[in-house]
Structure 1
Amino acid sequence: MARIALAGFMHETNTFAPIKATWQDFVRAESFPGLTQGTDILDVFPGINIGTGGFIAQTRQLGHTLLPIAWAETVPSAHVTVEAFETMSDLILQGLREQQPYDAIYLDLHGAMVSEQFQDGEGELLRRVREQVGPDMPIVVSLDLHSNTTQAMLDLSDGLIAYRTYPHIDMADTGARAARYLDALLRELSDNSSFKPAKARRALPFLMPMIGQCTMVQPTLGVYQELERLEQSLPGLRCLSFTPGFPPADIWDCGPVVTAFADNQDTADQAADALYHYILAREADFVVPMLAPDTAVIKAMQSNSHKTMVLADVQDNCGCGATSDTTGLLAAMVRNKAQNCVLGVLVDPAAAAAAHEAGLGAEIELAVGGKLFTEGDPPFHARWQVTGLSDGKFLCTGPFYKGVNANLGPMAVLTTGGVSVVISTGRMQAADKEMFRHIGIEPAETKILGLKSTVHFRGDFTDIAEDVLIVEARGAFIDRPEKLPYQNLRPGIRTSPLGQPFLGPRLA
């Protein structure tokens, strides 16, 4: 059986966001685990919906020996600092030197990392790894569905295995698929030591809004159904992936990409071309309408259903690099006198501290939110009652964050009229019911539930929702790519489905 080195370095970079990712952000944990090294990786990750967790479980079943090195991730934000990128890269490279000998390498990466010095963070890390281990070492990589998959990532790896669901309920499954892919590759190499999989990459000519990438509905649902059909029908096709991309990354390679790995070049090209043209023919279907905050709140208030109306505050999603502290939707809820209405989770450490100091049941005058994203709506001032307090520690049970021990620091529920807002100290996308339940709110019992999330909330909240309304409130994550002030895209790519092409920084 083989000896396989394992490492992970994950970040989704919104280059338009106000907060950068420092080394300390990677070290500490808020949602997914922070910096984890050595054999601790084998203890921490099994049972968590993360690629590394699935890879470990599947590799153990296959009988291979794992050589864990280091793993780190932090919430999406602006650029990864030089210190953070270099420190983590050095940990991985040093570990690869110390763990020799090994037969293959598995890397758990995101695909949309931008550092202060490199537009293609993953490509640069792979370049350094490949330079150290040589051209013949098998390197297999799992990627996020939102990867901006570059030619360098393709050239420097022997397999790119991407998530197929958004919400990402298949992250662990993707790690398991990567393990099976690598196992098959190693078996092939044992019979033919010179074997190299043929590769193909096709970049789509338009940017795809995040809300149009949800795999629970069309058109993206159909894309992955076609992908699986092609995988099953083309002999010799080892892996086919589609990464719709992460639009708020102002880099040359931003955008949707199809990649294929096969036994021969004709099969790789055939698979990549087929899926590319399938997607291109449906370009117009990736446009999803959004509602103004007041319009969404009023529509939700008019519902007569016993189920919850879910309002997605998609542009203030920290899972896309936003601050999760804007107040546009909150103000609309209060302004329209909504009842049995909850918004979460809004990041405001000072407000959480003030609520804890005042105590449960106290009434306080307080301005919440609007402190991190200063281009958004101002802090929302009201007289609040403190109706819930917690230490921010809870075990996630939903399909996206499953198994994660969250630690968001002091949290509070502040209520004014019929509107309550869940306040946190740390940042975490509102994608798990336990974020509310642990502090005394049962999501299914609310009439209106506002969630600072773009798509991941659907994994755990769809079952309680009468309807989901997409809200266009202000935030640091702009989900209309055509509105972003790009400077570095490749010329000619359309900045929205059927939209205008990017002509360059001086002409755009």
Structure 2
Amino acid sequence: MASRPVIAVAGLACETSTFSASRTEAPAFHPRRGDEVVEKYPFIQPGSPLGEAVDWRGALIGHALPGGTVTRETFETLSAEILSRLKEITASVALDGMWFDIHGAMCVEGLDDAEYELLRRCRGVIGPDVLVSASMDLHGNVSQELAHQTDLITCYRTAPHVDVAETKERACRNLLDLINRRKNGKAFRPFKAWIPLPVLLPGEQTSTRDEPAAHIYAAVPVVEATEGVIDAAIWVGYAWADEPRNRAVVVVTGWDKEAISSGAEKLARTFWEARNDFSFVAPTGTFSECLDTALKSDKRPYFISDSGDNPTAGGSGDVTWGLTQLLERPEFKEESGPVVIYASVPGPGAVEKAVNAGVGAVITVTAGAEVDDIHAGPLTITGRVHSIKHGDRHAGIEAVLQVGSIYAILTKLRKPYHLERDFTELNLDPRSADIVIVKIGYLEPELYNMAKDWMLGLTPGGVDQDLIRLGHKRIIKPMWPFDRDFKEPDLSSRIIGMSDMDLASR
């Protein structure tokens, strides 16, 4: 019986805003090592087709909640461990491939292309012959250098991302096919057609639920099905980082140069011609306008996105501006007022005080603005402790304070609120609330299905939806929509073919 191919798994993932005041440290990545890596993904575990066909070797993966720039010390520490573990693997067995499990929008102090740099270092250990397949978020960035270092590269095709596992499995399945092709004596390094687009838009204008992204991404599997093509992908790019690589990109991978070039150019042209059609996924307004509209509406629950400090896009999560504005509204001063849930503001000291006082106690606490005090300072509030929850993976401890008819969620550490149970486990019923305000951009599926109506609040923070207001200085211009009047861009394919000589020289 022939031995199974050996594939290592490594990567670091963190969507990071260079406009956020926070910094991302090593513990935020929750690193998994060795067998823990394989245990994370059912599709490579024993008993699954890929699990039975491949000998998977976990090096180290780390997936951090989106946030501020990753410190250089964190990157160097985790990168060094990845390299060390890869050396251990290659010392004991011949490696056929590596699955590079990344996001693609990780910004590191002193680096402009962190994922490329990490893969370059990995190549120094695994060598030029090992085949590499990268899976990414469509909000990642693909520089020409990153594309060159990979043999296969793909990304999600939905936003919100409901095809995460599907994308990662596709990256692994295509990698195995490539390895088997090599073992059968056939050409095993495909070509990639790479096209950068001078477009940089936030996810809230490019959701695949809506047009024009819906029809743009519907074209991806059509190109992929073309003979001679292995994979097709479109990256929207990440709008809240100020690096030269940040922009939309199309990559089509395959054996037929003409087929991949034609497919890539069709996708790029479709994207570019739709640039004027991108708009926000919901009605927008100032925070005050959103509250006014919600109060007048008879749709319940009415959701409002406090989008500028969205922790799942890279916001620090502790901007107090939204909650401060909410507490000043006279409509919510009395307990008999419209029920509002607000999620959330970190305040470790406030949460500790709530825990010590217990449910039902009336306390005065100060929370927020420990990291980002640019837009508003710490907030002091007096309220009744409604509920307390221990042990959340992100928040650690959560406490709900009732102030008038407002139920404000305070956390020990920042946390995204995407699921109905995030509220019900705090003895809150979002379905019966009048208004639910969440620090988020587009609503994640459970919230979207729950909301009877919603608005996107254009609020301040490290992931401000008003990109012009943020003040990018290092992106390659001209860039839509920062620039509106510039000549037709070059949308022709750049063919990237990776030879062993190319890799050995890098």
TM-score, scaled to structure 2: 0.89
**In 2, Cα distance between equivalents of 1:314 and 1:473:** 6
| Structure 2 counterpart of 1:401 | none
Q: Measure how far apart 1:231 and its partner are.
A: 1.8
Could you say what secondary structure the match of 1:188 adopts?
helix
Query: Match for 2:9 among 6, 15, 37?
Result: 6
Matched-pair contact (CA < 8 Å) for 1:2–1:103:
yes
Q: Note closer, same or farther for the CA distance 1:319–1:133 as it changes in structure 2 (3 Å cut).
A: same
- Greater C-alpha radius of gyration: 2
Query: Match for 1:39 among 32, 35, 39?
Result: 35
**In 2, Cα distance between equivalents of 1:382 and 1:79:** 31
Uncovered stretches (5+) of structure 2, i.e. residues with no partner: 333-337, 488-506
Matched-pair contact (CA < 8 Å) for 1:17–1:477:
yes
Could you say what secondary structure the match of 2:17 adopts?
coil
Could you say what secondary structure the match of 2:69 adopts?
coil
Deviations 1:22-51 (A, max 9, x none): 22333xxxxxxx1111112233x13xxxxx
The correspondence of residues 112-151 of structure 1 with structure 2, limited to 5 A, is 112-151=105-144
Q: Measure how far apart 1:208 and its partner are.
A: 0.8
Could you say what secondary structure the match of 2:304 adopts?
strand
**In 1, Cα distance between equivalents of 2:103 and 2:420:** 25
| Structure 1 counterpart of 2:439 | 452
Matched-pair contact (CA < 8 Å) for 1:144–1:162:
yes
Single out whichever of 71-80 and 488-497 deviates more from structure 2.
488-497
The correspondence of residues 436-447 of structure 1 with structure 2, limited to 5 A, is 436-447=423-434
**In 2, Cα distance between equivalents of 1:496 and 1:85:** 31
Q: Note closer, same or farther for the CA distance 1:345–1:88 as it changes in structure 2 (3 Å cut).
A: same
Q: Measure how far apart 1:7 and its partner are.
A: 1.5
The letter of the residue matching 1:293 is F
Q: Measure how far apart 1:497 and its partner are.
A: 7.8
1:298 aligns with 2:292: yes
**In 1, Cα distance between equivalents of 2:244 and 2:394:** 36
Uncovered stretches (5+) of structure 1, i.e. residues with no partner: 27-33, 47-52, 394-405, 502-508
Matched-pair contact (CA < 8 Å) for 1:209–1:287:
no
The correspondence of residues 451-490 of structure 1 with structure 2, limited to 5 A, is 451-455=438-442, 457-490=443-476
| Structure 2 counterpart of 1:91 | 81
| Structure 1 counterpart of 2:184 | 191
**In 2, Cα distance between equivalents of 1:378 and 1:368:** 9
Q: Measure how far apart 1:493 and its partner are.
A: 2.1
1:262 aligns with 2:254: yes
Deviations 1:157-182 (A, max 9, x none): 01112111222222111111112211
**In 1, Cα distance between equivalents of 2:485 and 2:379:** 36
Could you say what secondary structure the match of 2:377 adopts?
coil
Matched-pair contact (CA < 8 Å) for 1:480–1:496:
no
Matched-pair contact (CA < 8 Å) for 1:3–1:102:
yes
The correspondence of residues 244-283 of structure 1 with structure 2, limited to 5 A, is 244-283=236-275
The letter of the residue matching 2:27 is Q
Matched-pair contact (CA < 8 Å) for 2:44–2:56:
no
The letter of the residue matching 1:24 is P
**In 2, Cα distance between equivalents of 1:154 and 1:69:** 22
Q: Measure how far apart 1:56 and its partner are.
A: 4.7
| Structure 2 counterpart of 1:403 | none
Could you say what secondary structure the match of 2:230 adopts?
strand
1:342 aligns with 2:341: yes
The letter of the residue matching 1:303 is S
| Structure 2 counterpart of 1:433 | 420
Could you say what secondary structure the match of 1:79 adopts?
strand
**In 2, Cα distance between equivalents of 1:497 and 1:2:** 49
1:208 aligns with 2:201: yes
Q: Measure how far apart 1:62 and its partner are.
A: 5.2
1:323 aligns with 2:316: yes
Could you say what secondary structure the match of 1:112 adopts?
coil
Q: Measure how far apart 1:389 and its partner are.
A: 0.8
Matched-pair contact (CA < 8 Å) for 1:54–1:175:
no
Matched-pair contact (CA < 8 Å) for 1:390–1:411:
yes
Matched-pair contact (CA < 8 Å) for 1:330–1:343:
yes
The letter of the residue matching 2:463 is F
| Structure 1 counterpart of 2:62 | 72
The letter of the residue matching 2:86 is L
**In 2, Cα distance between equivalents of 1:313 and 1:182:** 40
Matched-pair contact (CA < 8 Å) for 1:318–1:427:
yes
Q: Measure how far apart 1:491 and its partner are.
A: 2.9
Matched-pair contact (CA < 8 Å) for 1:313–1:453:
yes
Q: Measure how far apart 1:407 and its partner are.
A: 4.3
**In 2, Cα distance between equivalents of 1:81 and 1:411:** 27
Single out whichever of 182-191 and 411-420 deviates more from structure 2.
182-191
Report percent identity of matched pairs: 25
Matched-pair contact (CA < 8 Å) for 1:333–1:341:
no
Equivalent residue pairs, number: 472
Q: Measure how far apart 1:213 and its partner are.
A: 2.2
The letter of the residue matching 2:88 is E
The letter of the residue matching 1:12 is E
**In 1, Cα distance between equivalents of 2:450 and 2:444:** 10
The correspondence of residues 357-396 of structure 1 with structure 2, limited to 5 A, is 357-393=356-392
The letter of the residue matching 2:278 is F
Could you say what secondary structure the match of 1:249 adopts?
coil
Q: Note closer, same or farther for the CA distance 1:59–1:4 as it changes in structure 2 (3 Å cut).
A: farther
Q: Note closer, same or farther for the CA distance 1:62–1:198 as it changes in structure 2 (3 Å cut).
A: farther
The correspondence of residues 222-233 of structure 1 with structure 2, limited to 5 A, is 222-232=215-225
**In 1, Cα distance between equivalents of 2:267 and 2:340:** 43
Q: Measure how far apart 1:59 and its partner are.
A: 5.6
| Structure 2 counterpart of 1:17 | 20
Could you say what secondary structure the match of 1:320 adopts?
coil
